[in-house]
Chain A
Amino acid sequence: MAEAQSDEELASLTKQGHKQAFNELVNRYEAKILRYGRRFLFSYEDVRDAVQEVFIKAYVNIASFNTSRSFSTWLYRIAHNSFINVIKKKKREPLSFFDFDTFVQFAVASPNSIEEDIFAKEDQASIQAALQALSPKYREPMILYYGEQRSYEEIGDIMHIPIATVGVRLKRAREQLQKILNNQSVKPTV
């Protein structure tokens, strides 16, 4: 399959029944989704199964994909749902039904005002360990923004939350992360 073809073109071909086109999409995204899964479901054993499930769901539901939109955001949305289902099934971390963050309007912190990429600067092991101490609602936007380089808008579309809420969660997550890292005597750059 030609590298030049966009994700959306490959998705369109998959819709027409070209299985090879989907294989190419799996090849392109397998490492990214696995990385996202490993960071989000750090303490869970069945990350590989969950990732496999993501691609199977994507293939089964490919007819519902709107090729005028971003395939990667659509795939990350499926991954988000699958990973949240894993957390729900294991019942190890509480997931609230109602979240006040999504209830009212917050001022959006500009993405440019976000500090430097802590994922790049800090010791990966300590960052990963500190992330696990965050609740899933704060951990996930951190992983998507810093780890997967997703924009606020994309994170909002992946998590189905307002863009302003993405900013609020990132801000609170960084504050919590900083506290955790300070307690671990690791000075973060944030």
Chain B
Amino acid sequence: MTEELIKKDEIVESIEQKIASGKINPHTRWYFFVRTVFLILATVIGFCLAIYLGSFIFFISRVQQFGKLAGFGWPGFQKLLMSLPWVILVLVAVLIVGVEKLGSRLALVYRRPLLYSILFIVLVVALASELVESTAVHRTLLDVAQRNHVPMVGGIYRHFGRGSMADVLYAIVKDQAQTTWLVSTDDQPELKIMITPKTQFIPGEVIQIQDHVMILAHSEGPRVFAIGIRKIAPELVPDF
């Protein structure tokens, strides 16, 4: 027995000594239980935050009519790219990667290609976001934010609210002449819009007085030129 001990590798001996002396002790089951709970909580919070922010992106896309901007050709597409809430989009992407990283401790996740896990999370976040967006959550928060009753998120809602997209006007047509239209917006009851041969319209769309329109415009001094004009349904006009 003594001879066997002498022959023992110094690694084995060192470990045995440390264990026997009580210098190292195993973590308790509670330690791992609490750690697991924290991991699950972090994953759930990450998921929920990604869904909330995702639904917020859908919400502002709907109220700001991002989709309709694309109808104005290249200028509209450029405007769309510039108007997207990139900071929130990046935050959602970071949360998705974070959730995947937390989940990758599970064999169910790491045994599959990263692309599959990411796509699955993106799909779940997108579907859940769409579901949340269809509820009155954001509309209610926006209403409260407008009355300055929400200390933190209120600022974000106001920031992305109506008028936040520079050069995009939501208006009602009041009068139409060859080169000038008179429209009314929330801020200005009477605003002259210059129509030029370059102004883009949706082919076949007839815009009449009292129609609700979205105008992609640019200002030159006091004059406002229309890059593109298209009709939007009255119920789609953002009321904020």
| Chain A residues at the B interface, C-beta cutoff of 8 Å | 14-15, 19, 22-23, 26-27, 30-31, 34, 48, 51-52, 55-56, 59-64, 102-105, 156-157, 160-165
Interface positions, chain B 1-55, Cβ under 8 Å from A, are 9-12, 14-16, 18-20, 24-29, 31-32
Main secondary structure of the interface of A (DSSP, over half): helix
Whether A60 contacts B111 by the Cβ 8 Å rule is no
Assess whether A160 is in contact with B28, with CB atoms less than 8 Å apart: no
B65 at the interface (CB under 8 A from A): no
The SS class assigned to the B binding surface is helix
Residues in B neighbouring A162, C-beta threshold 8 A: 110-113
Report A-chain residues with C-beta under 8 Å of the C-beta of B25. 60
Whether B19 pairs with A23 at a CB distance below 8 angstroms is yes
Contacts of A103 in B (CB 8 A): 113-115
27 intermolecular pairs with C-beta atoms under 8 Å apart: A14-B26, A19-B19, A23-B12, A23-B19, A26-B12, A26-B16, A30-B9, A48-B11, A51-B11, A56-B18, A59-B15, A59-B19, A59-B24, A59-B26, A61-B26, A61-B27, A63-B26, A63-B27, A63-B28, A64-B27, A102-B114, A105-B115, A156-B111, A160-B104, A160-B110, A162-B110, A162-B113
Note all chain B residues with C-beta closer than 8 A to A34.
9, 11
Nearest-neighbour CB distance to chain B for A114, whole angstroms, equals: 20
- Indicate whether B136 reaches chain A with its CB closer than 8 angstroms: no
| Contacts A30-B12, A34-B9, A64-B27 supplied; 16 other A-B pairs, CB < 8 Å | A19-B19, A23-B12, A23-B15, A23-B19, A27-B12, A30-B11, A31-B9, A55-B15, A62-B26, A63-B28, A104-B115, A105-B116, A156-B110, A161-B110, A162-B110, A162-B111
B11 in contact with A104 (CB, 8 Å): no
Chain A neighbourhood of B152, CB < 8 A: none
Q: Does residue B233 face the partner (Cβ distance < 8 Å to A)?
A: no
Give the distance to chain A from B46, nearest Cβ to Cβ, in Å.
19
Interface presence of B177 (CB below 8 A): no
Q: Are A23 and B16 in contact (CB under 8 A)?
A: yes
Query: Min CB distance, B119 to chain A, in Å?
Result: 11
Q: Are B27 and A60 in contact (CB under 8 A)?
A: yes
From residue B36, how far is it (CB to closest CB) to chain A in Å? 9
Contact A60 B19, CB 8 Å, known A102-B113, A104-B115, A156-B111: no
